[in-house]
């Protein structure tokens, strides 16, 4: 089973992004360090979370990440912020990878990732599998946690909007990756090739135009 889990909102400077969010009235929760070069924070809803993320050392990040995904992330950070990849949580990552490959999509073997809390020093680990094809700015990936995530935010997730050069082609490709056409993702025509809009319902969480993404709230 695949469940939409989170998406990445890349920003130029995480500390400044958090300060701006707090000033706007939707303070982000402190995060921590992912691997050696990434730092994050975010907002947790009842069903998904929004991950604010940046590189702690932009020069080192550029040296290590020159593929299409890395270049798209650099571009989003250089522009001040922008939408990035999104994750689907799965119960059996190995089986998911096998299913994606059976549909003719290139996907990597599962890898272990880790996050270290900036407040407690606690370390969490997970497994993820990344696609080796598709748009660099928004291609999905798959993640399996060692135990179910417990989230208790006051808002819920309704969907994301992707601006792409060819909506029909993008929709068809994503459906082949996932094995179904996801109701939570819509496509509009445009040049940016990334997440441009997010719809949330309830209270809390980001709102309005914020560092490259528009967050709309339903009543």
Mean pLDDT throughout 18-30?
97
- pLDDT one-digit tens code per residue, 62-82: 888 778 999 999 999 999 999
Number of domains observed in the structure of the chain? 1
Q: What is the CATH number of the domain that holds 112?
A: 3.10.180.10
Phi, psi of 29 (to 5 degrees): -75, 135
pLDDT of res. 137: 94
Do residues 174 and 140 touch, judged by C-beta distance below 8 A?
Answer: yes
Asked if pLDDT for residue 11 goes beyond 90, the answer is yes
pLDDT at 59: 87
Identify which of 35, 140, 161, 29 has the alpha carbon closest to the alpha carbon of residue 89: 140
Q: In the structure, what pLDDT confidence band is assigned to residue 91 with cuts at 50, 70 and 90? A: very high
Specify whether the CB–CB gap between 211 and 11 falls below 8 A: yes
Computed over every residue of the chain, the mean pLDDT equals 95
* Domain extent for 213: 2-218
Q: How confident is the model at residue 213 (pLDDT cuts 50, 70, 90)?
A: very high
Percent of the chain with pLDDT over 70: 100
On the question of pLDDT at 151 being above 90, the answer is no
């Amino acid at each position: 089973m695949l469940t939409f889990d989170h998406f990445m909102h890349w920003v130029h400077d995480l500390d400044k992004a958090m300060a701006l969010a707090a000033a706007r009235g939707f303070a982000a929760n402190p995060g921590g360090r992912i691997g050696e070069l990434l730092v994050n924070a975010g907002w947790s809803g009842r069903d998904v979370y929004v991950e604010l993320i940046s590189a702690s050392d932009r020069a080192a990040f550029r040296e290590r990440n020159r593929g299409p995904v890395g270049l798209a992330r650099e571009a989003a950070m250089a522009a001040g912020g922008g939408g990035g990849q999104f994750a689907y949580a799965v119960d059996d990552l190995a089986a998911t990878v096998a299913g994606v490959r059976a549909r003719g999509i290139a996907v990597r073997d599962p890898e272990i990732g880790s996050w270290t809390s900036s407040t407690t020093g606690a370390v969490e680990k997970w497994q993820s599998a990344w696609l080796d094809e598709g748009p660099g700015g928004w291609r999905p990936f798959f993640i399996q946690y060692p135990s179910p995530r417990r989230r208790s935010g006051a808002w819920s997730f309704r969907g994301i909007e992707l601006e792409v050069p060819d909506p029909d082609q993008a929709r068809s490709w994503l459906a082949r990756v996932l094995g179904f056409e996801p109701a939570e993702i819509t496509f509009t025509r445009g040049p940016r090739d990334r997440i441009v809009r997010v719809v949330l319902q309830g209270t809390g969480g980001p709102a309005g135009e914020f560092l490259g993404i528009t967050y709309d709230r339903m009543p």
